[in-house]
Amino acid sequence: MNDKQLVAIQAAHQVKDGMTVGLGTGSTANYFIQELARRHQEEGLRITAAASSVVSAIKAQELGLPLVAIEHLGKLDLYVDGADEVTTRMTLLKGRGYDLVREKLLARGSDQFIVLIDKSKLVGRIGEKFPIPVEVMPFAWQLVKSRLQALGAHAELRQNAAKDGWAITSHGSLVLDLTFDSHTDDETLNQQLNDIPGVVEHGIFHDIATAIFVADNGKVEE
């Protein structure tokens, strides 16, 4: 069993009968979905699930988890997802899969948000290893890019996987990937990005996670 699987199984055992559970996106979230489906089938665990992406929805459906559309949810009991970077202050960077809006919506709408990572994802500051993704309304991208440059960012429009066009999110936004020559405090940058008109959502998840499960060579720390 690898480390991603290990944390995912541990998180799936936090789920209690009757809970409404948000399903994250990515390889770690997939292991969580698998274990949740196993518990649902074999242990009779009753849950309602909401997916943060089409990919996770299809996986959950294939494995027989009862799904509810996000528009029917007033709140969730638990949201479980991976992350690309996590600081000691529990600020996260997410969004390599670029379904940021649904991920943050479910994370914010949940009583608990458990983040699943291996030790390699712990960083001193957000943006240390990966660019910071900013989802923008298509017609706003140039004006948003200028505002981001004024904050000291290099902003590159993300290309699609085939590199023959731009990446488009599931609700039609573009993505600007940001890098900085000098570091701005994560909390300040989070607020600055929140304040730019035309930004739909961004990859800094500040003050949202309630627990981080960290796997390190076969052991899990909370």
For the annotated binding site, the residues are: 25-28, 81-84, 94-97, 121
Q: Min. distance of Cβ 162 from ligand 5RP in angstroms?
A: 19
The candidate with the shortest Cα–Cα distance to 153, out of 139, 138, 137, 133, is 133
Q: Min. distance of Cβ 134 from ligand 5RP in angstroms?
A: 13
Cα separations in angstroms, 121 against 53, 71, 204: 22, 32, 14
The candidate with the shortest Cα–Cα distance to 133, out of 166, 164, 155, is 155
Helix (H) or strand (E) holding 191: helix 186-194
Q: Which of 22, 82, 127, 131 binds ligand 5RP (CB under 6 A)?
A: 82
From CA 7, how far away is CA 12, in angstroms rounded?
9
Residue 17 or residue 221: which is nearer to ligand 5RP going by CB? Answer: 221
On the CB side of 143, how many CA atoms lie within 13 Å of its CA?
Answer: 8
Cα separations in angstroms, 39 against 12, 34, 65, 145: 8, 9, 10, 46
Structure token digits, residue 150: 């004024």
56-64, 77-85, 158-166, 169-177 -> range binding ligand 5RP (CB under 6 A): 77-85
User: Does 91 engage in binding with ligand 5RP (CB under 6 A)?
Assistant: no
User: Does 127 engage in binding with ligand 5RP (CB under 6 A)?
Assistant: no
User: Does 120 engage in binding with ligand 5RP (CB under 6 A)?
Assistant: no
Q: Min. distance of Cβ 88 from ligand 5RP in angstroms?
A: 19
User: Does 201 engage in binding with ligand 5RP (CB under 6 A)?
Assistant: no
CB 210 within 8 A of CB 151: no
Which of 35, 85, 103, 135 is an active site residue?
Answer: 103
- Catalytic residue set: 103
Task: State the residues that interact with ligand 5RP by CB under 6 A.
Answer: 24-29, 81-84, 94-97, 99, 103
